[in-house]
Chain A
């Protein structure tokens, strides 16, 4: 047997430049927005934010490359292990996580802190892809009931662990990703409808078990004018920021809502408001279209992947992006309650960036290996 190089060089000739370019544009826009949101000379707490995010870039690049280096079939073999480790992390974070404002969401490894909930989103994609991509499933027109239920269980376990941190936003995202991925893997729609029915029956019960701040956010969403300085404050200030951007925006670094601190969470969950205020409707449209292209590209790759596991990884990345972007935009424009979902590649934060990059790395991985040939 000939000793093969660790990475087959031919693979990199197949790299998808479209995906890379779109991603680079989004991340460029994101850095611009983040810089503008935190550049202030007066406010010391924000001064390090932009630099820290820059430091995450090489890490993200390494993750992207290493995910590409390994044939995605290996991830198929490792999927349940990764899932298992994620569950352990999620339990660990509840026990020994770093507590910030009453929530345990972060694990510390020396200077690095990371959010296992971000890893959980990726692990659910891997595990469900592994679960659904086998010959029997491929041959049948529908996912069997048993596999569907296992898939739902795999989704709900990390979601519940995340919910009790508490992190409602990530829990919702995990559930949405898991269910969408099962549906895209031919889960019967009847199961989905029954699930939706059961969820709506039990939602008052769940609402009663939500934390007070979460309840307040739901109420504020339902009636934002109710208390403009309290819980409705986020939504109102965000709408003012976006709306005041008008068609062409106020210009780079000219966001008054941000500069004067009227907009909270302006460099994390609400960064889109800053972008929309500074670049206007046109700028916001450009960013949204870039996301749309990214999702469409990864869906396209899914469609011509050479096997169902590859399809599932790519379509998983699509729904991963789709739900994040949709919920974040819905939230900042006042269409959805404020649940705390970051805008991928733009919001400040390393864990969500790395997880999303890894997910797109898998898409690239599938793209490069879309032709039929043997080997790793």
Chain B
């Protein structure tokens, strides 16, 4: 079973919910897909046993064969190749790795090369398996790394995916194939605005969803009114409490220090299961 945790707006508490849920139930694989800023490992202090580089496919040019015809540059939708009569420039950061230039080159001057975009890390914190990707600073494309990270998913386990913020390609790549998506929001105008966009995306993708309201008590009631009108279940409310905020700031999952929350996350998970089987 795959459950993703997403939000739209950043900093609403995705990682906090994903990690607290993960430490409250059994047989978990926690997959942190926020490869730009992975944070789950900071809360879990897991021992990393596995660290491998991740590459994307980029063109590798054999200049002796190239006659500068420019067909590759003309074909490339991402402007990753520039060809002039004297030289050919390849921009690995712009390349999506589609392989089109290799197919189109009449001289067979281009072959598959590779470009390091980040690392894939795996480890355990007790029985909990943590998998995450770390994008190299300066690399723009997160999606290929998210794809690699997701290849490690073992669906026989309770898989929890921690999504990056936003509502574009990185979010799509993360939540695709999930059985359920938990949307974490805060009861503020910003939280609601970004929640609405994310709900729209998930509805288009036909992924069932529920909401966790974090920092409940701040802001206003409009998130609740919206969920009620849209018939979206509110799975859990986490109040704005100094103790919870302090534990988070220190990097400690609060359900480990406040055992009543462990039970609440177990109930949340049972509710998610019920929604999936409905």
A binds B: no
